[in-house]
Structure 1
Amino acid sequence: MISFTELLTASDAELVKTFYNVKSDPSVDFIKNINSIAEQLELNHSQLVSAIGFNKNIRDLTDIITVLGFKSYKVMIYRRNELFTTDTYQQLGIDNILDIYSARLEDEEILDTLRELLQPRLQHIEADIEKTDDPGYTFSYRMEIHSIYQSGIADKSFAEERIQKDIGKFRHMASELSEMINAGIFPPSNFFFMESISPDEKRELIQQDHVSSDMVKNRLQNAKISAEEREMLEEFV
């Protein structure tokens, strides 16, 4: 009846029109009520709550919020955040996630919220990738990381936190340092001399011509670098 993207970007008038004929039963459990409404709109629970919750026009449409079974906008947002941060491309496919990121520039409050939710969301996804090694998760994760930087959601604070975490495997998986460089957040030289950056990531920087031979030689003079990093660097001397 309505796509995720259409609901996410609908105007207030379009939202009212969409929900005018929706059948709601406030007497049942609110989860069941949302599921019923989602089914009427040919969406799933998470898609409905996320599309509505990230739509900038829903804040003052209290009748629709009530129809969904939420007591307030704040309660609905709490549920939206919970679903967004605990889903690994199951109920919210990568296309849904990319739609959310592409629509975020239109509203400063939503942009700020997304920046708060990114770290816990990515941490949850990374844990699932670690457990399952699902290639579908990995592919979607790469797309999501690229979108976060290319859309401008990721700022310096976000990037700094990612760099300090022991997640070199995942940064390398998504070529995240390249995304930071392309977004103008950090120059390549900053990464090359950081201890928190893995040898594999530094290899990629060298192969992408972000690092000069003089920088490699300079790094090799550091007696404290790991044997793994030293062995890798010596390949490029």
Structure 2
Amino acid sequence: MTQTVGFTELLTATDTDLVRLFYRIKSDPRDDFIIRINRVAEQLGLNHTQLICALGFNRHIRDLSDIHSVLGFKSYKLLMYRNNELFRTDTYRQLSIDNVIDIYAEHLEDEDIFAALRQLLKPRLDNIQARIADSDDPQLTICYRMEVHTIYTAGLADTAFAESRLAEPISRFRELASEVKVVADSGLLPPSNMFFMDSLSPGEKVSLIEQCGISRAMIENRLKNARISADERDQLENYI
């Protein structure tokens, strides 16, 4: 019997709601845990990844060992291993962008979940970027842009995260997400600091000039650097 449950409903359910919901769930302990998860997910109208991530990121699931058992896990720790693996490797195939945004919105409720999410951000984004590089699907780019913005606006990103992203040779992906503008708006790094980073592309420098108040004096100062690329020099000279 299917009892459809929304992803967000399961993600935000109280411990009482979870117990009441899973009381009616059928699970065969002889089955492999993957099969058990799939069958439980089917009963709830979710897919495998949605079920595990909605529960894994629900702050009330930690002590509900009976539910862990229904899914084939001997402990909360094993459930979280599976949760982290699925969240890290999913590229909007099983979790929609709405699911992901809901997960990020819930992180403030639990310090452990907050810490876990922060550790998953880089490998998750790396996987999504790899898929974008092999795809021409505009919807994928839209989802990526929304996710990057949410990471900053939800407070998951800190200065170290922003600095790491800006130092990586991923200007193509930062530009897809208008990330330098998002970083500036978040207050994590001043636009002036970013403007003088060698790792930013000429296009990102132009974005900072046009959207973040980079002054003529800063541009002139940057142009004094003999090591900047010809492309960057050409772009910056347009603003003198």
TM-score (norm 1): 0.98
Distance in 2 between residues matched to 1:113 and 1:133, nearest whole Å: 31
Across the two proteins, how many residue pairs are aligned to each other? 237
Is residue 215 from structure 1 mapped to residue 223 from structure 2 by the alignment?
no
The residue that corresponds to 2:147 in the other structure is 144
Q: 1:57 aligns with which of 53, 60, 64?
A: 60
Give the 3-state SS of the residue equivalent to 1:224 in structure 2: coil
Is residue 124 from structure 1 mapped to residue 127 from structure 2 by the alignment?
yes
Q: 1:198 aligns with which of 201, 205, 212?
A: 201
CA drift at 1:230: 0.4
| Ranges of 4+ aligned residues in structure 1 off by more than 3 Å | none
Distance in 2 between residues matched to 1:209 and 1:96, nearest whole Å: 31
Q: Which amino acid aligns with 1:15?
A: L
The residue that corresponds to 1:91 in the other structure is 94
Q: 1:16 aligns with which of 16, 19, 24?
A: 19
TM-score (norm 2): 0.97
Distance in 1 between residues matched to 2:57 and 2:128, nearest whole Å: 20
The residue that corresponds to 1:104 in the other structure is 107
Deviations 1:57-110 (A, max 9, x none): 000000000001111111110000000011110100000000000011000110
Q: Which amino acid aligns with 2:237?
A: E
Distance in 2 between residues matched to 1:162 and 1:38, nearest whole Å: 35
Distance in 2 between residues matched to 1:88 and 1:209, nearest whole Å: 31
Distance in 1 between residues matched to 2:7 and 2:149, nearest whole Å: 21
Report if aligned partners of 2:184, 2:212 keep a CA contact under 8 Å in 1. no
Q: 2:42 aligns with which of 24, 32, 39?
A: 39
Report if aligned partners of 2:181, 2:212 keep a CA contact under 8 Å in 1. no
Distance in 1 between residues matched to 2:80 and 2:212, nearest whole Å: 44
Structure 2, unaligned runs of 5 or more: none
The residue that corresponds to 1:176 in the other structure is 179
> Pairwise CA RMSD of aligned residues?
0.7
1:70-85 mapped onto 2 (5 Å cutoff): 70-85=73-88
